[in-house]
Amino acid sequence: MSERPAPTEYHPRWFRPRVSTYWWLERRSYLVFILRELSSVFVAWSVVYLLLLVRAVSQGDSRYEQFLAWSDSPVVLVINIVSLCFVVLHAITWFNLAPQAMVVRVLGKRVPGRWIMASNYVAWALSSALVVWLVLGA
């Protein structure tokens, strides 16, 4: 589409409202979105923490005991509890959004979104149960 050929001699002043720096506080959905995005930081921290744990284990008993003591300190404890909350938020929001991102077809019919969501939660529950059994049972 090309520009209009005739120049407008009077061009009204359009009002362009400024977007506030706190735009994400205006709606609940925006706030949840920002928290969801923030949660990826804590997901990254969980991965780092897990790697540190593995390294501590591989370096022998005393290093492992040191690691556990360090994990017990109030700061690390708080960080880990907060991380847990954010990771759970991350998982829940991801599972809930998954059906929108994927269209799964079984035998020609579309699988309803609820089933995709449910299967994610079921898989989560099962793998968590397996981990719990491995860690506590053995």
Partner 1 sequence: MADQITLQVARYRPEEEAEPTFQEYDVPCPKDWVVLDGLNYVKDRLDGTLSYRWSCRMGICGSCGMTVNGEPKLTCATFLSDYAPGPVRVEPLRNFPVIRDLVVEIGDFMRKLSTVKPWIIRKDHKPLSDGEYLQTPQEMEEYQQFSMCINCMLCYAACPIYGLDQEFIGPAAIALAQRYNLDSRDEGARERLEVLSQHEGIWGCTFVGECTEVCPKDVDPAGAIQRYKLTAALDSLQAFLVPWSAR
Partner 2 sequence: MIPSHDVLLVGGGGAGLRAAIAIAETNPRLSIAVVSKVYPMRSHTVSAEGGAAGVIAPDDSLDEHAHDTISGGDWLSDQDAVEAFIKEAPQELLQLEHWGCPWSREPDGRIAVRPFGGMKKRRTWFAADKTGFHMLHTLFQTTLQYTSVVRYDEWFVTRLLVDDGRVQGVVAIELMSGKVETITARAVILCTGGCGRVFPFTTNASIKNGDGMALAFRAGAPLKDMEFVQYHPTGLPFTGILITEAARAEGGYLINKDGYRYLQDYNLGKPEPKPVFRSMELGPRDRLSQAFVQEVAKGRTIDTPYGHVVNLDLRHLGEKVIDTKLPFVRELCLKYQNIDPVKDLIPVRPVVHYMMGGVHTDIDGATPLAGLYAAGEVACVSINGANRLGSNSLPELLVFGARAGRAAAEYAAGEVRISPAALAQARDEARQLANEFLHRSGGRERLSTLREEMQTTMEESAGIYRSGDSLARGADRLRELQERFGEVRIEDQSRTFNTERVAALELSFMLDVAEAIVNSALRREESRGAHQRTDFPARDDQRFLAHSLIYRTPDASCRVEYLPVTLTRWPPGERVYGR
Query: Which residues sit at the interface with partner 2, rule CB under 8 A?
Result: 1-2, 4-12
User: Residues 6 or more apart from 20 whose CB is under 8 A from it?
Assistant: 26
- C-alpha span between 92 and 124 (Å, rounded): 10
- Shortest distance in whole angstroms from residue 105 CB to partner 2: 18
> Interface with partner 1 includes 16 (CB under 8 A)?
yes
User: Of 5, 7, 8, 19, which lies in the binding site for partner 1, with binding defined by CB under 8 A?
Assistant: 19
- Shortest distance in whole angstroms from residue 112 CB to partner 1: 14
- 105 φ/ψ sector (left φ>0, alpha ψ -120 to 50, else beta): beta
- Shortest distance in whole angstroms from residue 23 CB to partner 1: 6
User: Of 44, 97, 126, 129, which lies in the binding site for partner 1, with binding defined by CB under 8 A?
Assistant: 97
> Interface with partner 1 includes 106 (CB under 8 A)?
no
- Give the position of tokens 């589409």: 1
> Interface with partner 1 includes 107 (CB under 8 A)?
no
- Give the position of tokens 């994610």: 120
- Shortest distance in whole angstroms from residue 117 CB to partner 2: 24
Token pair for 58: 């591989």
- C-alpha span between 127 and 130 (Å, rounded): 5
Select from partner 2, partner 1, none the partner in contact with residue 58, using the beta carbon and a kind-dependent cut-off of 5 to 8 Å.
none
